[in-house]
Structure formats: structure tokens, C-alpha cells
Structure 1
Amino acid sequence: MNSSDKQFAQRARALYQEATQSIDPVTAGRLRAARRTALEAATASPHHRARVLLPVSALAAVGLAALMIWQPAPGPQPEGKQVAIVEQENEFLPSNADKADPGLYQNLDFYSWLAANDSSQDKR
């Protein structure tokens, strides 16, 4: 601490002592009671939190486990919807894809890019 900090601390202490001497006894009693209540609450707080957090966390864990285990059974889907999904998946594949070499279908993104950029070759 340098000298200006020491002077500041001494001045603050002197002002505190002066303020405590000029406070009326009723207010001082209320302040002491509030301080005692705050100190008691601060020392009892960790035990109270532990008593509350344990059941709450157990309930949350049970709820999470129930949500992960319970999954609604899928309802019957209309045939038209299934056919539409299958047609959408096979939109980019030729009709004889099951007989072709599977290596051709590994890089479909590349072939799509090649087809998109193939028009620049026609301009040459």
C-alpha cells in the first residue's frame, strides 16, 4: 500500500466511525438484526441448496431418461406418401442403378458439378 491508499483507508475508517456514532439506536439495532439474519442465511445456504438440488436433479434425470426411452410408435402411412418419398430419393439415379457399378454413385456431387460446368466447354 502506498501512502495515498493508507490515507484513503484512514479517512474512510474515520468517516465510518463518525457515522456509527451519530446513528440512532433503533436503526443500529435493525442493522445488527439484518446483519445477523444475512450471516445465518449465508452459513445455512449450502446445506439448504444441497437438500433442494438433490431431489430436483434426480427428478430431472428420471424425466430425461423417460424422454429418451419413450418414443411414439410410428402411425400407418398412406401408400402415396411412401411412393413419393421413394421417387424423391431415386430422382437422380437412373432406372438401372441396381445393375450398374456402385463406384459410379460414390461421388454424385462431383458429377453434378461436372454437369454444371460442362456448359463452359461448349462455349469454346
Structure 2
Amino acid sequence: MNAPDNHLERRARELYREAARHLDPATVDRLRAARRKAIEGADRSSLSHRLLQLLLPAGAFAAVAFAALMLSSPVQGPSGASPASSLSISTAEVDGDLPPDAAAADPTLYQNMDFYGWLARNGDSQANR
């Protein structure tokens, strides 16, 4: 089976060499320029590929290091308070739906609790009229 393949290969080489001898110089120059351009493009792409292979792991490592740094360092508020106390202050300021603490509220607010209950039950129905 090697003999026919070898014969075919030898015949193809002979035809290629004969055709190459009969090419005009302008076509040969264009083919050589195209070959040089293809080789230079392959060199450039391999350089950028190697650079990408180097920068991608370095960037991933930097992102992981930055995330670890951000998670490990405590966040300080403007007054230097701890994060838990600044969170509770900002939550109390923003959340106006909660009733005030009984110890900190005015005692006169708790005198008429029946009225507040009635208002909660009927306030919406009276406002719709």
C-alpha cells in the first residue's frame, strides 16, 4: 500500500516543481509577500497570546487579593465608630415606621392608648370618605 502512496506523492511533487518554474516573477513576488505577512502575523499573535497567558492569572490573583483585603479590613465610619453602631444609627434614622422606645418617649403619648387603637382600626375607612 505504500507504493501507490509514494508514487502519488512523488508525482505531486514533480507537478508542483514544474508549475513553480513556470510562474511569472510578479506572481512569485506576491506569493512571497503573502507568505512573509502570514508568518509575521503568526509571530505577533503568538506574542499576544503569551502576554494574555501571563496577564490573565496575574489579574485574577490581584482581584482575589483585593477581595480578601476588603473582606478582612473593618469599615470605619466618619466618626471612627464601629460598623455595628453606625448601622444601628442609620437604621433608626431611616426607619420611621417603628414606634419610639417606651423609656425614651414622652409619657403623654401613652395616656390615650384606646384612641390610638381606634385610630388604627378606623383611620383608613374615615380617610376614604
Q: Which interval holds the TM-score relative to the shorter structure? A: 0.3 to 0.5
State the structure with bigger RCO (CA 8 A, min sep 6), 1 or 2.
Answer: 2
TM-score, length basis structure 1: 0.42
TM-score, length basis structure 2: 0.40
